[in-house]
Amino acid sequence: MEIVQNCQPHAQPSFRSQLKLQMKTVYARRYPCHLRLSPTLRIFNLLKPLLRYTRAISPLDLRRQGASRLRAALLFAMTIPASAIPFIPRTNVYVDGFNLYYGAAKNTPYKWVDLSALCAAVLPGIHIGRIRYFTALVGAMRGDPHIRQRQETYIRALETVPNLSVHYGHYLASTVSARLAHPPAGGSRYADVLKMEEKGSDVNIATYMLVDAFRADCDQLIVITNDSDLAEPVRIINKELKIPVGIFNPQTADTARRSSVRSGRTIKASPSITLRKVSRFTRDIRSDGPTCHMAISQFPRTLIDAAGRTITKPMGW
Which DSSP string corresponds to 186-227?
Answer: TS-SEEEEEEEEEESHHHHHHHHHHHHHHTT--SEEEEE---
Q: Are 206 and 233 within 8 A, CB to CB?
A: yes
Q: Where are the domains of the chain?
A: 19-84, 90-171+197-312
Rounded Cα–Cα distance for residues 211 and 165 (Å): 15
pTM over 0.95? The answer is: no
pLDDT band at 83 (very low <50, low <70, confident <90, very high): low
Give me the numbers of helices (H) and strands (E) for the chain, helices first please.
Answer: 11, 10
Q: Please indicate whether residue 32 or residue 74 has the higher confidence score (pLDDT).
A: 74
Q: Are 165 and 130 within 8 A, CB to CB?
A: yes
Q: Are 42 and 22 within 8 A, CB to CB?
A: no
**Beta-bridge partners for 129:** none
Q: Are 285 and 249 within 8 A, CB to CB?
A: yes
pLDDT band at 134 (very low <50, low <70, confident <90, very high): very high
Q: Hey, how many other C-beta atoms are within 10 angstroms of the C-beta on 110?
A: 21
| Architecture of the domain defined by 90-171+197-312 | 3-Layer(aba) Sandwich (3.40)
pLDDT band at 145 (very low <50, low <70, confident <90, very high): confident
Rounded Cα–Cα distance for residues 28 and 142 (Å): 84
Q: Is the pLDDT of residue 30 over 90?
A: no
Rounded Cα–Cα distance for residues 240 and 233 (Å): 10
pLDDT value, residue 10: 53
| CA nearest to 223, candidates 95, 117, 124, 122 | 95
Strands 220-224 and 190-199, how do they pair? Answer: unpaired
Rounded Cα–Cα distance for residues 284 and 85 (Å): 29
pLDDT value, residue 235: 97
Q: Which of 27-36, 53-62, 194-203 has the lowest mean pLDDT?
A: 27-36
Q: What SS3 state is found at 281?
A: strand
Q: Is the pLDDT of residue 127 over 70?
A: yes
Q: Is the pLDDT of residue 174 over 80?
A: no
Q: Please indicate whether residue 151 or residue 177 has the higher confidence score (pLDDT).
A: 151
pLDDT value, residue 263: 86
Percent above pLDDT 70 for the chain: 75
CA angle 205, 132, 282 (to 5 degrees): 70
Q: Is the pLDDT of residue 158 over 70?
A: yes
How deeply is 314 buried, as exposed, middle or buried, from its count of CB atoms within 10 A (0-12, 13-18, 19+)? middle
Rounded Cα–Cα distance for residues 127 and 106 (Å): 28
